Chain A
Amino acid sequence: MTTTEHNPDRTADVLIVGAGASGAAVAASLSEAGFDVVCIEQGHWQDSFKYPTADPDFEFKAMSSWSINPNKRRLPEDYPVNVEDSAVEPVMFNGVGGSTIMWVAHTPRLHPSDFRVKSQDGVADDWPISYEDLEPWYDLNDHVMGCSGISGDPANPPRSERPMPPIPIGRDGEMIAGAFDRLGWHWWPSDAYINSTRYGQGRDACNFCGHNMMGCYQRAKASTDLTYWPRAIDQGAELVTGARVREITTDSAGRATGVNYLDAEGNDRHRTARSVVMAANGIGTPRLLLLSDSKNHPAGLSNSSGLVGKNLMFHMFGGTSGVFPEHVEPWVGPVANIILSQEFYETDPDRGFLRGYTFQMSRGQGPGSIARGVAGHRVPWGENHHAVLERRFRNTLGLGPIGDDLPEEHNSVTLDERLTDSSGLPAPKITYRVSDNSRALLDHAITQGTKVLKEAGATEILVNPQSRETGWHLLGTARMGDDPERSVVDKNGQSHDIDNLFIVDGSVFVTGGAVNPTPTIQAIALRTADYITNNRGDLKA
């Protein structure tokens, strides 16, 4: 699909920056409500039938042109990220669908306690909204994206009937689930935005191809180019691709008037709009707010609190893999939408850290990726090579913790003074270190994960104390709150400083919780869209 600009001189009601998980949801919701919507996206449409999982050299592409790491992929639409001072490297995809093109689509929800961390545990801050406030939009998003799963999980509040039955957990899933059962610990089949049956327009059931992170050829995995964007475009939304926003423009009163961007040919262009919605993710959004500094906004846009770019949270990830005596054929089935355990989700001070983690089971892929390293353990070269490879290749399963990573102001996104993207714009620089709380949490998870894998029959355990290329979840860099001095946007995603500027991506998270964040990001985006629809008629022509 290609898109051309229609009537670029008009003033749109809403201009969205970024066509990923959150931008697509807002575009569909607001265009269905009759707003004139334009979205500007630096990347392009993808053709499912050209995804590299159908290529014989897919394992090579996974570490080069289809790497999850933009610093390795280095396509013109990617921007480089300076990670010299970061223990974690951010990963993402830039294009229509955003990072949902590459995501695993494991889709749990935050817990009610995640919204009340300050009240319950005395650290970080409470959110200005609750789980109950978000619930209707979680449900709506589950239906539009298409969720496979089963309700009844005792670790979570009751949930509406899932639109599709769960993804079967397979014999390998049963091995790990059985171990949790014998230990008396919680587990549940993962909610997944992957079709267990045909669902949505032109979207097949998953064929267990086993490789989620390079686009889904079957269109079974929900990416927003397949879910929200067709709806938005049907309703008249305009999506401009290959266009990089370099600045949000403002008038003398400080209100947003539109954006300056570089089009596909590199020409400098301007689009005017009655409001701007930022959906460029937890790194792209603070980067652009900081790039939009001016005489009236010397510290960047919407930054009177000084918190734009601060409090960056990833989810701490490390963990354990077990090598089993029997073949488990780990390349069969979605890579990490199998089962989760939330036995250690909620705070227990006796554990020596606050908050907790979710265990997410994972599979492996082809022999090349096993040789390159399970849990960071590369198969040795030399005489031992074949024996070690053969022991691990068909026999390895993983159990990784997604740990709550409490906000700290020194973990941040700033503008790099030297590094630039392909348009010459300053690149983001990440400063991030693992806190003592996160370290203690990961150590606990490694001990408990080892217990589970041994109980399941693993004879060798491979430990990764903390993985580096795991910045999948980009959160906290323009957080929401009631107090304009301690937050960037209010509970509706509206900037405290600029009443026609909204932020809807993971930047607005106050705390990260201990689950994959995208259902929450999209629920927040849909809620903000409904707020605009119901309360901001002034933004409509």
Chain B
Amino acid sequence: MVIKPDTYLLTAALNRVIPPVGDLPGAGGMDLAEEVIKRSAADFRFQDALTRVLGALPSPNDFLALDDDGQDDALRTAESSHADAFGLWLDVVYTVYYMHPEVHQRLGWHGRSPQPEGNVMPPWDGSVLGVIRKRDPFWRKA
């Protein structure tokens, strides 16, 4: 169970992991901590990774008292001591961040799910085979 102080800690950590860019604040400033907590709670692997990463960071007050470089150092220490959990936690954070419509807008990506609209299938152009069609069969007979 993640308790409130962890939300502060997570928010601060998210701002260092995915910092501000263009008009967008960092991932923490976009209020994604709650979504990361909610998504993690649905799968024990993600929950376990979140708990381990937060547990490997200084206490919320100590982390918040650090400057940017200090927070990055603390994150790097957690990353090297809990490599697998940190990696899985990053996967959750990245996926949550890149589901956000404002992020899609900044990337210039349509942001739609693949279906039902899909994309347009281009026409088949047989001329692409011009060179390879000239090659003699070369499969090995058995």
CA distance A331 to B114 in the complex (A): 9
How far does the alpha carbon of A72 sit from the alpha carbon of B48 in the complex, in Å? 13
Q: How far is B4's CA from A386's CA once the two chains are assembled, in angstroms?
A: 29
Mark out the residues of chain A between 145 and 177 whose CB falls within 8 Å of any chain B CB in the assembled complex: 150, 152, 154-157, 165-171, 173-174, 177
Contacts of B102-142 to chain A: CB distance below 8 A: 103-104, 107, 109, 113-126, 128-129, 131-133, 135-142
Chain A residues contacting B43 (CB-CB under 8 Å) are 64
Which chain B residue has the least Cβ–Cβ distance from A165? B124
User: What is the minimal beta-carbon distance from B119 to any residue of chain A, in angstroms?
Assistant: 4
Residues A120 and B140 in contact in the complex (CB < 8 Å), given A206-B121, A367-B107? yes
Task: Name the residue of chain B whose CB is nearest to the CB of A48.
Answer: B115
* A368 in the interface (beta carbon within 8 A): yes
Distance between A134 CB and nearest chain B CB, rounded to angstroms: 12
Interface assignment of A45: CB less than 8 Å from any CB of chain B: no
Q: Is A333 an interface residue, CB under 8 A from the partner? A: yes
With both chains docked as a complex, state the minimum distance between the C-beta of B43 and any C-beta of chain A, in angstroms. Answer: 5
Question: Judging by beta carbons under 8 Å apart, are A196 and B124 in contact?
Answer: yes
Band of interface residues on B:
35 or more
In the complex, the answer to whether A186 meets B132 with C-beta atoms within 8 Å is yes
Hey, which chain B residues are within 8 Å of A177, CB to CB?
A: 128, 132
Q: B residues within 8 A CB of A331?
A: 114
Judged by a CB distance under 8 angstroms, whether B66 is at the interface is no
Q: Count residues of chain A with CB under 8 A from any CB of chain B.
A: 74
Residues of A within 8 A of B139 (CB): 111-113, 154-157, 345-346
| Contact across chains for A382 and B16 when beta carbons are under 8 A apart | yes
Binary contact readout B62-98 vs A (1 if CB under 8 angstroms, 0 otherwise): 0000000000100100000000000100110011111
Q: Is the CB of B109 within 8 A of A367?
A: yes
Pairwise interchain contact A53-B115, C-beta atoms closer than 8 A:
yes
Q: Contact: A53 with B114, CB < 8 Å?
A: yes
The one of B75, B87, B98, B115 in contact with A368, judged by C-beta atoms closer than 8 angstroms, is: B98
Q: Specify the chain A residue showing the minimal Cβ separation from B104.
A: A367
Please indicate which of the listed interface residues A210, A346, A379, A381 has the most CB atoms of chain B within 10 Å of its own CB.
A381
| Interface residue from B18, B95, B135 paired with A381 (Cβ < 8 Å) | B18
CB-defined contacts of B42 to chain A, threshold 8 Å: 64
What is the interface of chain B mostly: helix, strand, loop, or mixed?
loop
Q: Which A residue sits closest to B99, measured CB to CB?
A: A57
Cβ–Cβ < 8 Å partners of B128 in chain A: 169, 173-174, 177, 189
> B116: which A residues are within 8 A, CB to CB?
54, 217
Contact B135 A385 (CB under 8 A): no
Residues in B neighbouring A187, C-beta threshold 8 A: 132
Given A55-B113, A168-B121, A209-B114, A393-B107 contact (CB < 8 Å): yes
Q: Is B17 an interface residue (CB 8 A)?
A: yes
Tell me, rounded to whole Å, the shortest Cβ–Cβ distance linking A487 to chain B.
19
Q: Closest Cβ of chain A: how far from B44's Cβ, in Å?
A: 9
Residue of A nearest to B103 (CB): A367
A188 to B132, CA, bound (A): 8
Q: Which of A120, A130, A168, A382 contacts B122 (CB 8 A)?
A: A168
Q: How far apart sit A248 and B20, CA to CA, in the bound complex (Å)? A: 60
- Contacts A166-B124, A186-B135, A386-B21 given: A112-B114 contact, CB under 8 Å? no
Q: Which of B18, B43, B115 has the most CB of A within 10 A?
A: B115
Per DSSP, chain A at the interface is loop
Residues of B31-80 contacting chain A, CB below 8 A:
39, 42-43, 45-46, 72, 75
- Say which residue of B96, B107, B118 sits within 8 Å of A218 (CB atoms): B118
CB distance from B127 to the nearest CB of A (A): 10
Docked-complex contact B140 and A346, CB < 8 angstroms? yes
Cβ contacts under 8 Å, A54 to chain B = 113-116
A189 to B126, CA, bound (A): 10
Q: Does A332 contact B (CB under 8 A)?
A: yes
Q: How far does the Cβ of A149 sit from chain B's closest Cβ, in whole Å?
A: 11
Tell me which residues across on chain B come within 8 A of A382, comparing CB atoms.
16-17, 19, 72, 75
Residue of B95, B99, B136, B142 touching A116 (CB-CB under 8 A): B142
- Contact check, A208 vs B142: say whether CB atoms are below 8 A apart: no
Q: Is the CB of B114 within 8 A of A368?
A: no
B18 CB to nearest A CB, Å:
6
Q: List, in ascending order, chain A residues with CB within 8 A of B138's CB.
A: 154-155, 186
Q: How far is the CB of B10 from chain A (nearest CB, A)?
A: 14
A353 on interface, CB distance cutoff 8 Å:
no
Q: Which residues of B contact A393 (CB under 8 A)?
A: 107, 109
Please name 9 further chain A to chain B contacts, defined as beta carbons within 8 Å, in addition to the given A166-B124, A206-B121, A367-B98, sorted by A numbering.
A56-B113, A154-B139, A165-B124, A167-B124, A180-B132, A209-B115, A211-B115, A217-B115, A383-B19
Chosen A-B contacts, 11 in total, with CB atoms closer than 8 Å, are A112-B142, A113-B142, A154-B132, A167-B121, A208-B118, A209-B115, A331-B114, A367-B98, A371-B94, A378-B94, A383-B19
Q: Which residues of A contact B (CB under 8 A)?
A: 51, 53-60, 63-64, 72, 111-113, 115-116, 119-120, 130-131, 150, 152, 154-157, 165-171, 173-174, 177, 180-181, 186-189, 196, 205-211, 217-218, 331-333, 345-347, 366-368, 371-372, 378-379, 381-383, 385-386, 390, 393-394
